């Protein structure tokens, strides 16, 4: 039987398991990436492993999230990261060099390799035929230490592309179309693998846009073949040497096939406040727009900027619209300058933001109160922009540019523009491409390096082993599709506290319930109730770490998102699933639930599925709960998380 690309990469990296769908597997990780907002914890955890140097082929530490230096905190973090990178043999991408996923694709991406990153959009590398997966910082730290990455062997969904994009449609519209059909939970436990004649019509940056936003489907990853287009992308960046041909076998078996005819696609938009609330741009045309931003790891390539400039050149943006562009990398910025694109955008009235995540994570350029903002980003969760009442729409660069021009949502197909060729503007100058990437010093020099620990760097608190008896109050009853932004908000005020768990814990659930921290602190311990797809979105392990610090011992939900569930287990919090989802309705916030025999439940479940009963002491009645976890996860929970488990084994 033939293999898919995903299976081929997993097979060549398989350390444990038999590649059976839905069964546990462990793979070797070739490359890791971290970013500053998750990286400090990852390196603090790596340090506890007592190793001299990372054991991967390549590890890179990027600074791209916390670049708004309002005081000393973010810079303390950057210095810690830079010195830790040098000490442990990690490349360091300096602030200003660009967004981790964009830079990694350009400088280090290699077909057929595995990449684990402490950021949920790590699958961007799938645009170049990598198996790139997002994970919590602790899992990435373990991989840097040479440990295997444990995953459930995913289902493989084939996405067969036919035809070619035309008119105003863009790569963003392909992934928005998939989100429309599949929803934010459609991809849980799956990899989306692209095939069909439409693939060769897409450039690597376009493929990367699609693979990037596959994260919003809840997928483990997204993968494109590596072909002549990929070879050209690498050759243009002087890296043809890492190219290899990679495609699925003709008789590869997919769990399901989805067909998309690119020629039939029209410009789409994800409406507030979810990436799957997709409609045709034409349906909402005419809505007045206050703000437009082009950037983020989804749409900040040279081609994206060029498409916007084509629409805007020689014109001026509408007086109502405040517009900005954040090029994905310094290399993109330099090329955009050389190609005249930057000048065209500036002349049109765009503000230039640095090459970083910026507004995508609420780091500046927040919209006005109640404002309508069109962004080329991947997430529009409520409040993520920094303005809780803002209405954020996710669109392509073409749709964003059209709105900047007219002042209202406009289908770009109604404007005539031609796409320009930008390859010639890519720089071959080593300083332009590698100048802000600091390679790790030789191992002999590492002993001399002192790690800089400013006052913002606080040690990572340790988890507690599972207790056999627990009486836990329901501290919060949350609904469906709760995001990690809901659990642990980001933004300019909170992000600088990522290295300081006691402080950041004060912001847990603030958007949903400002009284949560106080209540949790008074209770000392408790649990959270959630609906379906609990913990979707960002990989931030702070959404597990800070609740753990506040005494959260369990989350009871109808289902969990992959990365967050792994983070909960890594930090010793029980992710329990209702056997009867109707029990969710029978439990209220404030109820006291009694759990007995938790340790024996975890032990008995090894090798099988046992049920844990919770008695509702407030209302009476019981509910049955499952733990969908393999033996390793159960042992981790018994030990109190990944770090104590690793020390025991
Ligand atoms: C995001 O897009 O939400 C982030 C910020 O990049 C996160 C990581 C983080 O919270 O630091 C992600 O996607 O994993
Ligand atoms: Fe940065 Fe936004 Fe991409 Fe997250 S989604 S890595 S915040 S640009």
- 264, 292, 326 - which closes a domain: 264
93 lines ligand 1 (CB under 6 A): no
Q: Say what the pLDDT of residue 464 is.
A: 82
Global pTM?
0.97
Whether 516 shows a pLDDT value over 80: the answer reads yes
Mutate to test the pocket of ligand 2, among 36, 95, 298, 360 (most ligand atoms within 8 A of CB): 360
Residues 491 and 547: their CA atoms lie apart, in Å, by: 18
Q: Are residues 231 and 188 in the same domain?
A: yes
Domain match, 97 and 144 both:
yes
Residue 177 falls inside a structural domain: yes
Host domain of residue 546: 469-648
379 assigned to active site? yes
- Tell whether the model's pLDDT for residue 106 goes beyond 80: yes
Rounded mean pLDDT of 91-113?
98
- 546 belongs to a structural domain: yes
Beta sheet of 391-394, edge-to-edge order: 278-280, 268-270, 391-394, 372-375, 291-294, 322-325, 351-352
Whether residue 639 sits in one domain with residue 561: yes
Establish if 449 belongs to a structural domain. no
What's the whole-number mean pLDDT along residues 44-54? 94
Q: Give the domain CATH number at 363.
A: 3.30.499.10
State the DSSP code for 452.
P
- Residue 646 in this model has a pLDDT that exceeds 90: no
* 253 occurs within a structural domain: yes
Identify the domain boundary among 359, 385, 420: 420
Does residue 463 belong to any structural domain of this protein? no
Asked if pLDDT for residue 211 goes beyond 80, the answer is yes
Asked if residue 434 belongs to a domain, the reply is no
Q: Convert the pLDDT of each residue in 267-310 to its tens digit.
A: 999 999 999 999 999 999 999 999 999 999 999 999 999 999 99
Q: Are residues 260 and 281 in the same domain?
A: no
Kindly give, in sequence order, each residue whose CB lies less than 8 Å from that of residue 569, ignoring residues fewer than 6 positions away. Answer: 575, 629, 633, 636, 637, 641, 642
Residues 537 and 497 in one domain: yes
| Per-residue pLDDT at 609 exceeds 70 | no
Burial of 503 (0-12, 13-18, 19+ CB in 10 A): middle
49 and 27 housed in the same domain: yes
Domain stops at, among 387, 420, 453: 420
Whether 65 sits among the annotated catalytic residues: the reply is yes
**Sorting pLDDT into bands at 50, 70 and 90, what band is 374?**
very high
Does the structure show a pLDDT above 60 at 608? no
Q: Are 299 and 286 in contact (CB under 8 A)?
A: no
Catalytic residue among 119, 290, 411, 633: 119
Judgement on whether residues 248 and 342 belong to the same structural domain of the protein: no
Counting from 1 in the atom list of ligand 1, the atom nearest the Cα of 563 is 14
Going by alpha carbons, the residue nearest to atom 3 of ligand 2 is 297
Residues 382 and 526 placed together within one structural domain of the fold: no
Q: Are residues 134 and 21 in the same domain?
A: yes
Residue 52: inside a domain: yes
Do 299 and 161 lie in a common domain? no
Q: What pLDDT is stored for residue 125 in this prediction?
A: 99
Handedness of CA 174, 180, 183, 188 (dihedral sign): negative
* 276 Cα to the center of ligand 2, angstroms: 18
**287 and 232, same domain (yes or no):** no
Distance CA 399, CA 269 (A): 9
Query: Could you tell me if 109 and 236 lie in one domain?
Result: yes
What is the tally of structural domains in the chain? 3
SS3 labels along 535-590: CECCCCCHHHHHHHHCCEEEEEECCECHHHHHHHHHCCCEEEEECCCCHHHHCCCC
Which residue out of 13, 36, 65, 499 is catalytically annotated? 65
For residue 322, being part of any structural domain is answered with yes
Label residue 37 by pLDDT band (50, 70, 90): very high
We report the CATH number of the domain holding residue 625 as 3.20.19.10
Q: What is the DSSP string of 87-108?
A: HHT-EEE-TTSB-HHHHHHHHT
Mutate to test the pocket of ligand 2, among 119, 384, 485 (most ligand atoms within 8 A of CB): 119
Q: Which atom of ligand 2 is nearest to the CA of 490?
A: 7
């Amino acid at each position: 039987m033939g293999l898919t690309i995903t299976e081929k990469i997993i097979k060549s990296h398989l350390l444990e398991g038999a590649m059976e769908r839905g069964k546990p597997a462990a793979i070797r990780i070739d490359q890791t990436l971290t970013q500053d907002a998750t990286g400090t914890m990852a390196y603090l955890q790596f340090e506890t492993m007592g190793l001299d140097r990372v054991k991967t082929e390549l590890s890179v530490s990027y600074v791209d999230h916390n670049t708004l230096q309002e005081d000393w905190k973010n810079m303390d973090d950057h210095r810690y990261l830079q010195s830790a990178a040098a000490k442990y043999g990690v490349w360091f991408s300096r602030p200003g060099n660009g967004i981790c996923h964009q830079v990694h694709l350009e400088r280090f991406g290699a077909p057929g390799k595995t990449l684990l990153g402490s950021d949920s959009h790590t699958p961007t590398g799938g645009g170049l035929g990598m198996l790139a997966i997002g994970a919590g910082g602790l899992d990435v730290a373990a991989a840097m230490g040479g440990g295997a990455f444990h995953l459930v062997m995913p289902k493989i969904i084939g996405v067969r592309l036919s035809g070619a994009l035309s008119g105003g449609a863009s790569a963003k519209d392909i992934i928005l179309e998939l989100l429309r059909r599949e929803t934010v939970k459609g991809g849980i436990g799956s990899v989306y693998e692209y095939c069909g004649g439409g693939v060769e019509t897409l450039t690597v940056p376009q493929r990367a846009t699609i693979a990037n936003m596959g994260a919003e489907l809840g997928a483990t990853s997204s993968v494109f073949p590596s072909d002549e287009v990929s070879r050209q992308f690498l050759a243009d960046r002087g890296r043809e040497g890492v190219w290899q041909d990679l495609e699925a076998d003709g008789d590869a078996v997919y769990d399901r096939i989805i067909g998309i005819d690119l020629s039939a696609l029209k410009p789409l938009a994800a409406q507030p406040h979810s990436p799957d609330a997709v409609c045709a741009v034409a349906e909402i045309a005419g809505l007045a727009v206050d703000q437009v931003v082009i950037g983020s790891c989804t749409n900040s390539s040279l081609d994206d900027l060029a498409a916007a400039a084509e629409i805007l050149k020689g014109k001026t943006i509408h007086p109502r619209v405040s517009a900005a562009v954040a090029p994905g990398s310094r290399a993109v910025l330099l090329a955009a300058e050389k190609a005249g694109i930057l000048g065209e955008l500036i002349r049109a009235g765009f503000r230039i933001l640095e090459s970083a995540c910026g507004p995508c994570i609420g780091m500046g350029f927040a919209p006005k109160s109640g404002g309508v903002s069109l962004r080329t980003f991947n997430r529009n969760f409520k409040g993520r922009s920094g303005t809780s009442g803002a209405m954020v729409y996710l669109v392509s660069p073409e749709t964003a540019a059209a709105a900047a021009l007219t002042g209202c949502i406009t289908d770009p197909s109604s404007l005539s523009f031609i796409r320009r060729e930008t390859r010639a503007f890519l720089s071959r100058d080593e300083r332009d491409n590698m100048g802000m990437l600091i390679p790790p010093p030789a191992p002999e020099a590492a002993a001399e390096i002192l790690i800089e620990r400013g006052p913002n760097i606080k040690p990572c608190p340790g988890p507690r082993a599972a207790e056999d008896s627990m009486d836990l109050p329901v501290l919060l009853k949350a609904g469906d599709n709760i995001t990690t932004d809901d659990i642990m908000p980001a933004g300019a005020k909170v992000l600088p506290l990522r290295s300081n768990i006691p402080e950041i814990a004060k912001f847990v659930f603030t958007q949903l319930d400002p009284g949560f921290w106080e209540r949790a602190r008074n209770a000392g311990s408790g649990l959270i109730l959630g609906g379906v797809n609990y913990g979707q979105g960002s990989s931030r392990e702070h959404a597990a770490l800070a609740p753990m610090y506040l005494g959260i011992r369990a989350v009871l939900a109808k289902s969990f998102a992959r990365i967050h569930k792994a983070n909960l287990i890594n930090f010793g919090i029980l992710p329990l699933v209702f056997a009867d989802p109707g029990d969710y309705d029978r439990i209220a916030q404030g109820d006291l639930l009694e759990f007995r025999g938790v340790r024996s439940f975890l032990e008995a479940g090894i090798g099988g599925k046992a049920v844990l009963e919770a008695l509702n002491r407030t209302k009476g009645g019981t509910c049955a709960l499952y733990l969908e976890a393999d033996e390793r996860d159960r042992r981790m929970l018994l030990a109190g998380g990944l770090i104590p488990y690793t020390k025991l084994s």
